[in-house]
Amino acid sequence: MKKTHLLVSMLVLTIFSACRNNDENDNENPRNEEVHSKIVNVTNHDGRPFSTGSGSVSGKFVSGPGGGVLMQGFYWDVPEGGSWWNTVTGKLTAWSDSGIGAVWLPPASKAQNGAYSMGYDPTDYYDFGNFNQNGSVETRFGSRTELEGLITKAHAENMQVYADIVINHNSGGQSQANPFTGTSTWTDFSAIASGKFPRSYNDFYKNSYGNNDEGAFGGFPDLCHANPYVQDWLWGRDDSVGKYYKNVMKFDGWRFDYVKGFGPWVVNNWNSNVGGFSVGELWDSNVNTLEWWANNANSSVFDFAAYYKMDEAFDNGNLNALNDDMMWKRNPYKAVTFVANHDTDIINNKMPAYAYILTHEGYPTIFYRDYEEWLNKERLNNLIWIHNNKATGTTSILYTDNDEYIARRNGYNGNPGLVVYINNSSSWQERWVETNWSSQQIKDFTGNSTWYPTTQGDKWVKIQSPPNSYSIWSLNQ
């Protein structure tokens, strides 16, 4: 939910630019595939080839032993004009070739501001750019046909597609007399073009079910999930929002917006009735709160605890912060890690942060603008390859100080794991570390170091990391 650029007037018909700010079943967890990932040949920032693997192959993405990587396929205020679905479609093959296993899309249905809306002010959940309402037929992102083409193309590339779901609040209703407030409220959604999920004042707080729930947002009508009618339309009936998105539009999972605004039981019920991968935006740095929500929602959650600790570590010269508690340490299968998103982008020293999330446990997310516009794509592709092929097993932190951080992934099911060495200092650093490997040659799979050391019989070895950068070590195979 965008925390800025919000202008709401409930005294007139127009509400301006909308807000933005699991135990998963194994067959729905994009990280549980135990098959081989593609190898990608890329170059280092100084032109030398990255050391990634023994060759290259082509074809559709298949998750490697390290699991999958999620691409956030948008940013705030992507170009208007209905071209975004086609823009993303044109990138899917390259993303798949790089090892991206899923793409998260912005809210896809028609919203209050029609062709100008980022979708976080939903009006008609079943209008994907095929009805003339709210001033346009297409959404900001394009037509329903183009969206369906994107999803079809992603599936052909063996990628999943996650829908951003905004069910805390609605916008764009007509005025009606409301006996629970004694005023007129913008809660009449009886004339929506799709004819599906018509709503009135009793479907929003305050109403016969009470005065409020966990939280409202920005003055928008606050949807009442306690109402069985609302529950039925969101996840119960065969043509409910969730089941329509999954069975008709073919979305594979859900990113739930602003879950602070309603109880975790809502997401739990959605997941139980609809299925698919799910992650909640619970904007809270308290890992206890994140874990509580994830367990009660039966869902993954964005790891805001790790996000703020990475800012402290990589921007403020304190890598010891990475010793602190995070959601991925509590339950990696319910932690979605990230370096930036459409709402918040506070980490400046991003490449070490990506090296961190792509070598550690959790489900890592790549932000569109970081990948396509702002950072070195080849270096990110190298990290994605390392994640998919080497980042396996539990994590052991081997050494930390203000400038240095070394951790080991302990390997799993025959995969050797890795050692990651992050160096925030202005000079090369070296450390003796205990590895997973006895009397075997290792190498830095980033290509940053040219060393090819052999581990001792007791598994110890000296490794190095370049200044203001990182190295990632595993068996030379």
Percent of the chain with pLDDT over 90: 86
Predicted confidence at residue 16, as pLDDT, reads: 32
- State the CATH number of the domain containing residue 225: 3.20.20.80
User: Is there a single domain that holds both residue 338 and residue 424?
Assistant: no
Binning pLDDT at 50, 70 and 90, where does residue 19 land? very low
pLDDT (0 to 100) of residue 59: 53
Mean pLDDT of the chain: 90
Clarify whether residues 267 and 416 are in a common domain: no
Q: Catalytic: which of 257, 284, 303, 372?
A: 257
Q: 63 to each of 67, 71, 345, 391, how far by Cα in Å?
A: 5, 14, 28, 12
Residue 60 confidence (pLDDT): 72
Residue 432 has pLDDT above 70, yes or no: yes
Known binding residue 203? Answer is: no
The token pair at 288 is 């206890």
Is 168 a known ligand-binding residue?
A: yes
Q: Assess whether pLDDT exceeds 90 at residue 95.
A: yes
Asked if residue 210 has pLDDT above 80, the reply is yes
The least confident of 51-55, 132-136, 342-346 is 51-55
Catalytic residue among 24, 157, 252, 281: 281
Residue 348 and residue 427 share a domain: no
- Asked if the model's pLDDT at residue 292 lies above 80, the reply is yes
CATH for 432: 2.60.40.1180
Q: Is 111 within the bounds of a domain?
A: yes
Read off the tokens for 106. 């912005």
Q: What's the total number of domains in the chain?
A: 2
* Domain identity same for 314 and 426: no
Q: Please state, in angstroms and rounded to a whole number, the distance separating the CA atoms of residues 17 and 7.
A: 7
pLDDT digits (tens, 9 = 90+) for 83-93: 999 999 999 99
Q: Which domain holds residue 435?
A: 393-477
Domain membership flag for residue 3: no
Q: Is 281 a catalytic residue?
A: yes
d(CA 100, CA 375): 16
Q: Are residues 327 and 279 in the same domain?
A: yes
Q: With respect to residue 20, please indicate whether it lies within any of the assigned structural domains.
A: no
Together in a domain, 386 and 398:
no
Residues 86 and 140 in one domain: yes
Same domain flag for 190 and 301: yes
Average pLDDT over residues 203-219: 96
Q: Name the domain boundary from 356, 372, 391.
A: 391
pLDDT in tens, 397-408: 999 999 999 999
Mean pLDDT of the region 363-377: 98
Q: Do 360 and 420 share a domain, yes or no?
A: no
**Is 200 a domain residue?**
yes
Looking at the domain assignment, is residue 155 inside a domain? yes
* Residue 20 clears pLDDT 90, i.e. is over it: no
* Tens-digit pLDDT profile for residues 106-127: 999 999 999 999 999 999 999 9
pLDDT beyond 80 at 38: no
The residue assigned the tokens 């071209």 is: 83
Residue 32 in marked binding region: no
Predicted confidence at residue 66, as pLDDT, reads 87
Assess whether 75 and 198 both reside in one domain: yes
Which residue, of 391, 417, 445, is where some domain finishes?
391
Within-domain flag for 19? no
470 lies in the same domain as 387: no
Instruction: Look at residue 87 in the predicted model and tell me its pLDDT.
Output: 98
User: Looking at the structure, do residues 358 and 410 belong to the same domain, yes or no?
Assistant: no
Q: Given this model, what pLDDT does residue 13 score?
A: 33
45-54, 260-269, 365-374, 396-405: least confident range: 45-54
Q: Is residue 422 part of a domain?
A: yes
Domain membership of residue 9 (yes or no) is no
From 356, 391, 426, the end of a domain falls on: 391
